[in-house]
Structure 1
Amino acid sequence: MGGTRVRQRGRAVVVLTALALAAGCSDDGGATTAGPGTSAPSTTPAPSSTGTTSSVAPSTSQQGPVKLTVASTVATGIDVPWGLAFLPDQSALVAERDSAKIKRIAGGQVNEVGEVDDVDPSSEGGLLGLAVDPGYPAKPYIYAYYSAGDDNRIARITYQNNKLSDQQVILDGIPQSAVHNGGRLRFGPDGYLYAGTGDGSDRPNSQDDGSLGGKILRITTDGKAAPGNPDGRLWFTKGHRNVQGLAFDGKQLYAAEFGQNTWDELNVITAGTNYGWPAAEGVSGLDGMADPIAQWHTSDASPSGIAFAQGHIFMASLRGERLWAIPVADGKRTGEPQAFFTNQFGRLRTVEAAPDGSLWLTTSNTDGRGGTRDGDDRILRITISR
């Protein structure tokens, strides 16, 4: 995988002081932060009050910035859509966080295919990420990340003839709380399942090698540690606060992470790396801990899902109510992020690259934190041009 910069010494006292002053906030960036909501990104190497920061690699693209257009509304009336995954027939499955229902979208029609058992919804918990087995339909399974009564779990569920059956928990014991549950699932090009978890509102989990909280997990489809994981553990990386976005650019994995009350992050993920939480939030320069390649004030982002397409990571933002497009190549940021649809559709939760080259983008206005609009929540189809 591509490399990532490692923090050097410095600013630890400042970061730790800021964390001590903060009583804590939700993973939607509930605390008030500096900087206007529509601020332009900055490329200075140290934090400022105007959007993204960090060094930028020279651009490898001569095609210029992207343009995004809302081509159509795919579906309306979805109850807190969270996970979204495409099937080989180009239909899609969407998870409703609070109802625990999974619905299939095909040909403009939305139909329920079943309900995931034992889901216990909360402020940010419930039925979260979805992934389709890369061997589907020969291996007719989907995978769901969900909050149960005492923990977060990953289940393998048979999906055939547009119906769910035979739910089997393959991994449990992921720390759970009303907030900071993580929840995103993504199969990698290596065939293994990656899962972003949160610290479960218990910060030490993120640095505890024996905890599944505050980690990116890498597991087999049976829930075992994937070969090549650090020390044979279930986790791939540690030191995360709350990972709800995972996307691959070829073999390179990227992750979006909620900050406490100052900086949200986009990280390049490499095996065994420590991403710093709770000692670090954003670019912090701490020895042995990796810095993000981009960061945002929580008022401008509070990121959930991400997707890769046409040389960009697209990042859906909840509190920021916009879709960010971040140019990347070889594990580096190659230019300035662009913001799209600011305040047009409300809170944005999930973005996925569709088989036809478009993006599907979900709103999250019915999750109890947004102002609902007629038709919410909806899924939008976004086309990309230059």
Structure 2
Amino acid sequence: MTAYGPAAGLRMDRRTVLALGGALSLAALAGCSPPVNPIATATPGPAPTGIGPRKILKATGLDTPWSMVRAKDGRILVSERDTARILSLSPDGNLMPLVHLPQVVAGGEAGLLGLEIIAASGEAEWLYAYLGTETDNRVVRMQLQGSGVGPVEDILLGIPRANIHNGGRIKQGPDGLLYIGTGDATDREAAQDPSRLNGKILRINPDGSIPEANPFAGSPVYSYGHRNVQGLGWDSSGRLWASELGPEKNDEVNLIEPGKNYGWPFVTGVARDARFVDPIHVWPSTADASPSALAIAGDIAYVACLRGERLWELPLPAGEPTAGGTLPGARELLSGQEGRLRDALLVGDELWVATNEGADSRIIALELPVA
């Protein structure tokens, strides 16, 4: 475990982390979490379709869900940003608490954010979470153990937090490594500083160590010059794509290359400046997008949008893509039907979407390919 950047004072040895994590996890499983809203369950079945693809209701009664991830036993684990709960949705539609993480301090856009599961050797599955504490954002992990989890272990400390622009998406790449999207935490200039962790895409080994092949020696920084990365996904060729929130304009989808500079805060959208990598797709107005999660089925990207209240379908170009503008074939789904959309997850031949409507949030599924 390593601490980086401005939160170096948070450095702890592994024994301290395991002891603390064990105490927190046991307290949560013993029922010490604060009162929460009851969890409603939903038996899978058709929901009103309105205009657009057929929708299947999977769960209701969630409180500001942020991320979904699938365990190998078929359960879908869901994080709630403000309650600090991770919930478990079984294949038969039962929604139950898995764990409450009391170290989470929610506020504004910070709280319990991204989830990922990485299978270790043998049968072990590790659940990773990106969360905000009182002093920083960090990545932790805990082993899935039946209907609960093991001790919480800090993996990466010291990612700056703020009321907004906390990033939070974490995904395992085809290379087996963990990728982490961060926001600039309102410190715009830090996005251009490779020694800082905000405004970046980071890459670490599953145990928190730094891959030798990273572009900056000894650093988790994989790419920089980002404003607020919220979506990560890989296409059929193994290329990494990221969705990023712009400043009231120029929301972006970028093709990510190691060590490259994506321009924030000097430029947004297509700048034609040799110092920076231009985005492949741009939404001129956040009213149409405000992109959060990015899920890729083959070479079709599905981008869940917050302010835009829609799901964008973007056919990704093969070969060397041309930067800027609108990708040919881009179309809108669910426009205005489900409110703010926070996450999208491929589950078999369905695309699951989590809404971001406070205590009225729910999870729906769309059958793929969508008509």
The answer to whether TM tops 0.5 is: yes
- Report SS of the residue matched to 1:278: coil
The residue number in structure 2 matching 1:327 is: 315
CA contact (8 A) 1:252 1:330 kept: no
Q: Is the 8 A contact 1:134 1:191 kept in 2?
A: no
- In the alignment, is residue 231 of structure 1 matched against residue 216 of structure 2? yes
Q: CA deviation at 1:68?
A: 6.0
Does structure 2 retain, via aligned residues, the 8 Å contact 1:360–1:381? yes
User: Does structure 1 residue 241 correspond to structure 2 residue 227?
Assistant: yes
Tell me the residue number matched to 2:340: 347
Report the RMSD for the aligned CA atoms in angstroms: 1.6
Are the equivalent residues in 1 in contact too, given 2:124–2:144 (CA < 8 A)?
A: no
Tell me which of the two structures has the higher relative contact order, counting C-alpha pairs closer than 8 angstroms and 6 or more residues apart: 1
One-letter identity of the residue aligned with 2:223: T
Aligned counterpart in structure 2 of residue 216 of structure 1, from 185, 192, 201: 201
Q: Is the 8 A contact 2:79 2:115 kept in 1?
A: yes
Query: Would you say the 8 A contact 1:81–1:362 is kept in 2?
Result: yes
Matched residue type, 1:288: R
* 8 Å contact kept, 2:233–2:241: yes
Pairing 1:136-155 to 2, within 5 Å after superposition = 138-155=123-140
Output the CA distance in 2 between the equivalents of 1:215 and 1:68: 35
- Secondary structure in 1 matching 2:151: strand
> What residue number does 1:35 align with?
none
User: For 1:7-36, what per-residue CA distance to the aligned partner results, in whole angstroms no more than 9, with x for missing partners?
Assistant: xxxxxxxxxxxxxxxxxxxxxxxxxxxxxx
Question: Identity over aligned residues, as a percent?
Answer: 40
SS of 2:119's partner is coil
**Residues 1:361 and 2:353 aligned together:** yes
Change (3 A) 1:236 1:360: same
Shift of 1:273: 0.8
Q: How does 1:120-199 map to 2 (within 5 A)?
A: 120-135=105-120, 138-199=123-184
Distance 1:68 1:223, change over 3 A: farther
* TM-score, scaled relative to structure 2: 0.81
The residue identity in structure 1 corresponding to 2:231 is G
1:272 aligns with 2:259: yes
For the residue of structure 2 that corresponds to 1:131, the secondary structure is strand
Does structure 1 conserve the Cα–Cα contact (< 8 Å) formed by 2:67 and 2:342?
no
Structure with greater helix percent:
2
User: In structure 2, what is the equivalent of residue 315 of structure 1?
Assistant: 303
Q: Which runs of 5+ in 1 are unaligned?
A: 1-66, 367-371
Contact kept in structure 2, 1:204 and 1:278, CA below 8 Å: yes
Amino acid at match of 1:349: R
Deviation at 1:137? 6.7
Q: Closer, same or farther in 2 for the Cα pair 1:330/1:266, shift >3 Å?
A: same
Unaligned regions of 5+ residues in structure 2, if any? 1-50
Answer yes or no: is the 8 Å Cα contact 2:311–2:333 preserved in 1: yes
Aligned equivalent of 2:55, options 51, 71, 93: 71
Deviation, structure 1 residue 167: 0.2
The whole-number CA distance in structure 1 between the counterparts of 2:329 and 2:188 is 32
Structure 1 residue 227, shift from structure 2 partner: 2.6
Q: Secondary structure at the match of 2:216?
A: helix
Measure, in 1, the Cα distance between the counterparts of 2:229 and 2:342: 13
Per the alignment, do residues 172 and 275 of structure 1 end up closer, same or farther by CA in structure 2, a change over 3 Å counting?
same
Q: What is the total number of aligned residue pairs between the two structures?
A: 311
Structure 1 residue 337: Cα displacement: 0.9
SS at match of 2:349: coil
How far off is 1:225 after superposition? 1.5
Measured at CA, do residues 310 and 209 of structure 1 come closer, stay the same or move farther in structure 2, by a change above 3 Å?
Answer: closer
2:276 aligned to which of 264, 284, 289 = 289
